[in-house]
Amino acid sequence: MIELKNISKVYNKSKSNEVNALQNIDLKIEAGSMLAIMGPSGSGKSTLLNILGCLDVASAGTYKLNGQELQSLSRGKLAAVRNQHFGFVVQDFALIEDYTVMKNVEIPLHYSKNKVNKKEKTLALLDMLGMKEKASEYVYNLSGGQRQRVAIARALINNPDIILADEPTGALDQKTGEQVLAIFKKIHKEQNKTVLIVTHDEKIAKQCEGIINIVDGKIVKKSY
């Protein structure tokens, strides 16, 4: 369960170009939900996702994850929460081009205490995503849809309970985007993971269980 109370984010505080990226955000998200986050460019969607995923901290307000208050945690403790609970997927995949598929997926394991059979776990995930045959392929030889599957495998390798995806279909054509969304739906349904997807695509958003609309750093509508 995610609970945000009165969350604000100010960039460039005390400078002349101060930006109020988020203002007084109240939000509750039940574990196991699949929601879309929509809003115009610059409205604060990525800022919200970064705060949720403990990549950044709010300027004010409280953030509780499964009852634990996060806003006063040290950077190190916050990083531990991030590694334990969150998997990230972004629009441009953020893969290392001259690493193999396998090596890219294993990257987060270097930062976690998760002692698993790396190779076995990576191959099982790639298999689930239809990418097992490409395990030894270099990323530069892959299509956009294949790259996003690799990025999803990497997001899942530490077995997070929450997937945060920032325009994951933004760089893909409609059909490939639909296929990637189908993967998120499957993960959500079969593994009961919370999935939050920032998207500009109504068709994608409509397939989620609800939509959070943000305008100018404020939540203007919630439908779930």
Ligand X SMILES: Nc1ncnc2c1ncn2[C@@H]1O[C@H](COP(=O)(O)OP(=O)(O)OP(=O)(O)O)[C@@H](O)[C@H]1O
**Binding partner selected for residue 53 from ligand X, Mg ion, none, CB under the kind-specific 5 to 8 Å limit:** none
Question: Which position among 6, 12, 143, 174 is part of the footprint of ligand X (CB under 6 A)?
Answer: 12
**Residue 19 binds ligand X, judged by CB under 6 A:** yes
**Residue 169 binds ligand X, judged by CB under 6 A:** no
- Collapsing DSSP to helix, strand or coil, 113 comes out as coil
**Alpha carbon of 184 to those of 6, 61, 103, 108, 109: distances in Å?**
29, 30, 22, 19, 21
**Residue 46 binds Mg ion, judged by CB under 5 A:** yes
**Token representation of residue 2:** 């995610």
Is residue 19 exposed (0-12), middle (13-18) or buried (19+ Cβ within 10 Å)?
Answer: middle
**Between residue 31 and residue 60, which ones bind ligand X under the rule CB under 6 A?**
39, 41-47
- Collapsing DSSP to helix, strand or coil, 155 comes out as helix
Q: Which is nearer to Mg ion, 32 or 170 (CB)?
A: 170
Q: Which is nearer to ligand X, 108 or 168 (CB)?
A: 168
Q: Which is nearer to Mg ion, 38 or 142 (CB)?
A: 38
**Alpha carbon of 34 to those of 10, 115, 161: distances in Å?**
28, 29, 12
Q: Which is nearer to ligand X, 161 or 216 (CB)?
A: 216
Q: How far is the CB of 108 from ligand X (least distance, A)?
A: 23
| CA dist., res. 191 & res. 161, Å (int) | 9
| CA dist., res. 140 & res. 142, Å (int) | 6
Q: Return residues touching Mg ion (CB under 5 A).
A: 46
Q: Return residues touching ligand X (CB under 6 A).
A: 11-12, 19, 21, 39, 41-47
